[in-house]
Chain A
Amino acid sequence: MIRYIIRRLLWAVVLFVAVTVVTYIIFFIVPANPALGLCGKACTQDDVKRVQAYWGLDKPVPVQYLKFLERLVVHQSLGRSFATRREVNDIVKDAAPVTASLVVGGVVLWMLIAVPLGILSAIRPRSLLDRASMVFVLVGISAHPVWLGLIFSFFFGYKLGWFPITNYCDFINPSTDCGGPVQWAYHLFLPWATFAILFAALYVRMIRANVMETMNEDYVRTARAKGAPEHQVMRSHILRNAMLPVVTMLGMDIGLALGGAVFTETVYALPGLGKTAISALDTFDLPTVQGIVVFSTICIIVFNLIVDLLYAWIDPRIRLS
């Protein structure tokens, strides 16, 4: 088990280096000089050179990358934004809770929809409920979150006025004009729904398929042959096994979900990581982009690690081999 964890951690480091290197390369392939933007329109050639020297942009890319790594490892610092001169650490610190609220709430919502719907439609295939859930799945998979977000905010926000269309409220500390758990959830409800529908649809399908497959397993028949009542067969023999792959998928989809959060944040103007990254891209603000990439990568790696360990814990075949 310890060996397994060490191996996973080492792989995480490799993954981390790979992701940041790729971000660097992409950034420098883009034909734009960040120093020019930083300096402003009135700058002379000499000014630009000075700015480049100040930010270290005159050094070769590998050196810049190593400097970035050094800063990160030694000082745990992601550097300063080109655009606002703020510490990227602070930018991430501000944006991360917003994205975390969106993603965590979204995951909870999508599992709340997908688990019961998936199980019920697996138990009664071709029933009305199964067919209805199929329609939901088709709509959920085909609708783009941006479109869905616009529709939701138009109907539920603008027409019916049930929910606010934009704005984010802190969960605890009312740093903004609003705050507290109720306001937080109230403001986030539409983003959550928008964010959750695609994944809920995918997970309904997956859970339905898993449960149906598990219902045909020999050990389920064994359980029935023992005289176990149906609810016990379902709980103890079907669900436990059918949910194993769901746990893995959830771990893998966290990365995907962070990507999906970008759309939702844009539509509802939530000041999360996605929106911040997009604004940073507009201004060629490499440190901010890089900082968000690094932070997201770490999050995804940590999540995957947790999920793998969780999986090993619930599946004895992995734990004991």
Chain B
Amino acid sequence: MALLEVTDLRTYFRTDDGIVKAVDGVSFSIEKGKTLGIVGESGSGKSVTCLTIMGLNSKRTTITSGEALWKGKNLLTMGAREFRDIRGSEIAMIFQDPMTSLNPVHKVGKQLTEAIQLHRDVTKSQARARALELLKAVGIPRPERRIDDYPHQFSGGMRQRVMIAMALVNNPDLLIADEPTTALDVTTQAQILTLMQKLQEEFGSAILVITHDLGVVAEVADEVVVMYAAQVVEKGPVERIFKRPHMPYTWGLLGSLPRLDSVVDRLVQIPGSPPSLLNPPRGCRFHPRCPYVMDVCKADDPALLPVFDDSDHFAACHLDHETKDREAAKLIAGMMAQAS
């Protein structure tokens, strides 16, 4: 059984302009100790997916349906109390902006011990000892002094380390990281990614990492989910997604990325911009921007189906397999040729 099994998840927001279908039928699963990466552009629904799993959307304006089975129990229908016991203990989360994600008026030590004492019946000094242990584990120098500092006294990278320490303090089975390195500089990003991988080995947590950066996904993920306009358009093992993607949007993403390992004169560009989720296009949501568009794309929403030779790899596209294989091979070969 998968650790987390999400099936047909839908999150709709009621707004003054109408209903925004921020997540519209998303399914994926995460195995114990593995890393799943969700990539997509802004507005693709990747962050909302995770906030829904964590139950952090405002209840008044949100309509949720589908299933998110955590160890067999549905998180979406669970009582508030029961859910609270899982949140922060079995599933923990870190956020994009470490500058604003820590409470400015509390010492970091207090924020860490709060996380411990919410879930464990320990004394203050035991909690503090555990907090110190974690601050040391995430590589904060002189933790016994820094534990009594306030968040604004830390740099951005150090704050993200504090966030990670806080998330791992109860040995969670799943760590959800929402754009954990987007706000950080590239050398700090490398530090944080290395740290997360090291800690994953140590703690054995599964990681769900959400990012817009294909590089980050390629670096850390075992499995990849590509989201576009509130839906999953492709998912599969990281090797497949980067070596033989089967969806024109994924091709566009890979081609539009300037990269260090190849030189191109012109980037492949996806024309236009992502659709409004108030009123998404009929049929395949990518069809207005897709260079391979056919009549069927405008009418029918393609299902997420297994790619013929690999039951782990799914793609939602009406194109025939041969064309997809050919185009994917051409794209990847083009990159490789220029790389050498």
Contact = CB atoms under 8 A, between A and B. Distances in A.
| Complex: A in contact with B (CB within 8 Å) | yes
A316 B109 CA distance: 14
Nearest to A244: B105
B56 A236 contact: no
A317 B106 CA distance: 10
Interface in B314-340: none
B114 to A, nearest CB: 7
B106 A225 contact: no
Nearest to A222: B101
B114 A224 contact: no
Nearest to A125: B60
27 contacts: A219-B100, A219-B102, A219-B103, A219-B104, A221-B56, A221-B95, A222-B163, A224-B56, A224-B87, A225-B56, A225-B87, A225-B88, A226-B87, A226-B118, A226-B166, A227-B88, A227-B115, A236-B114, A237-B103, A241-B105, A315-B104, A316-B104, A316-B107, A316-B150, A320-B152, A320-B153, A321-B152
A310 to B, nearest CB: 13
A158 to B, nearest CB: 46
Given A222-B103, A225-B93, A317 B87 contact: no
B52 interface: no
Contacts of A219: 100-104
B10 to A, nearest CB: 21
B54 interface: yes
Nearest to A126: B60
A281 interface: no
B4 interface: no
Contacts of A71: none
Interface of B: 54, 56, 84-89, 92-93, 95, 97, 100-107, 114-115, 118-119, 150, 152-153, 163, 166
A289 B93 CA distance: 62
Given A219-B103, A227-B88, A317 B114 contact: no
Contacts of B85: 227
Contacts of B97: 218
Contacts, number: 76
B84 A227 contact: yes
Interface string A194-219: 00000000000000000000000111
Interface of A: prevailing SS: helix
Interface string A220-248: 01111111110010001100110010000
Interface string A296-321: 00000000000000000011110011
Contacts of B56: 221, 224-225
A225 B103 contact: no
A218 B114 CA distance: 17
Contacts of B102: 219, 222
Contact of A316 (B92, B118, B152): B152
Interface of A: 217-219, 221-229, 232, 236-237, 240-241, 244, 314-317, 320-321
Contacts of A244: 105
Contacts of A236: 103, 106, 114
B104 A226 contact: no
Contacts of A226: 87-88, 92, 114-115, 118, 166
A241 B86 CA distance: 27
Contact of B103 (A229, A241, A320): A241
A314 B105 contact: yes
A218 B88 CA distance: 15
Contacts of B87: 224-227
B100 A317 contact: no
A316 to B, nearest CB: 4
Report which residue of A244, A315, A317, A321 has the largest number of chain B beta carbons within 10 angstroms of its beta carbon. A317
Nearest to A316: B150
Given A223-B103, A236-B114, A320 B119 contact: no
A221 B85 CA distance: 16
Contact of B105 (A222, A225, A316, A321): A316
Given A225-B88, A226-B114, A315-B105, A217 B100 contact: yes
A228 to B, nearest CB: 6
B24 to A, nearest CB: 23
Contacts of B115: 226-227
Given A218-B101, A221-B56, A221-B95, A229 B84 contact: yes
Nearest to A224: B56
A228 B118 contact: yes
Report which residue of A232, A314, A316 has the largest number of chain B beta carbons within 10 angstroms of its beta carbon. A316
A317 B84 contact: no
A315 B103 CA distance: 11
Contacts of A223: 103, 114
